Amino acid sequence: MAKVAFIGLGVMGFPMAGHLKVKGGHDVTVYNRTAAKSAAWTEKFGGKSAPTPAEAAKDADFVFTCVGNDDDLRSVTSGKDGVLQTMKSGAILIDNTTASADVARELHAIAKEKGVGFIDAPVSGGQAGAENGALTVMCGGDEATYDTAKPVIDAYARMVGLMGAPGAGQLTKMINQICIAGVVQGLAEGIHFGKRAGLDIEKVVEVISKGAAGSWQMENRHRTMNEGKYDFGFAIDWMRKDLGIVLDEARSNGAKLPVTALVDQFYGDVQAMGGNRWDTSSLLARLEK
């Protein structure tokens, strides 16, 4: 059992911290900007809460962060009441936020100066993956630090891998989002086309999902898409945040991402329809408006 702090109890962080407590058996202290979330977490899982990230991280062996964006991440890590103000030498900071590779490298450098390990560890699998402890975790950092952190991360993951140096986890998550954007748009167009052609979408998917067109998105989202239901996971607001990070990185490294840029614009159209909190499969709604 290790002493663990978890900072950020959103739709992902809340169950992830729970798995560290229940499945991992760790001594967990949580912090959330809205104190009511911390109270709800301790009521459900036990453990303790703290009034600041710094207080939560004091004496912890492992500190996890799962917040909104680069600025939020800097605030809870290197800010005035951030975890790096109190983390002990030899402890490890594991960041599950989907953020930029630049901020991952920045925090790795700051942590190293303080004798603290750092792993950028964004996740994929959505709210369901977090609740089921079945996330895919893409890590960047030093191999020795990763080897120490992995058994703890395993509490909420089905797949954990070290992708390379600091920032590599975030870069891998960017690739994940690039691939998802294209697949969801293709699935939306396929369903839209099939409906216009008068076909039974269930029968179509039953056949084509067993061939080269098959995907996780098709298997898990085609039915709700066909029914016009878009409340099943990762929200468009979050996806656009992620795609913004992707496109910024592409401008920096010279990668050409025409489909990703176009799908990002399509998600903007859905936001304009009022679909900010709809899940990413709602690209179909844009075609059917």
Distance CA 198, CA 28 (A): 54
229 assigned to active site: no
Instruction: Give CA angle at 212 (207, 172), nearest 5°.
Output: 130
Identified catalytic residue from 173, 195, 203, 241 = 173
Query: What's the CA angle centered on 231, arms 230 and 235, to 5 degrees?
Result: 90
Tracing tokens 């176009």 back to the chain, one arrives at 262
Residue 212 neighbours by CB under 8 Å, 6+ apart = none
Cα–Cα distance, 86 to 83 (Å, whole number): 6
What's the Cα-to-Cα distance from 279 to each of 70, 118, 253, rounded to whole Å?
Answer: 22, 31, 29
**In degrees, to the nearest 5, what angle opens at C-alpha 166 toward C-alphas 161 and 172?**
50
The residue length of the chain stands at 289
Residues belonging to the active site = 173
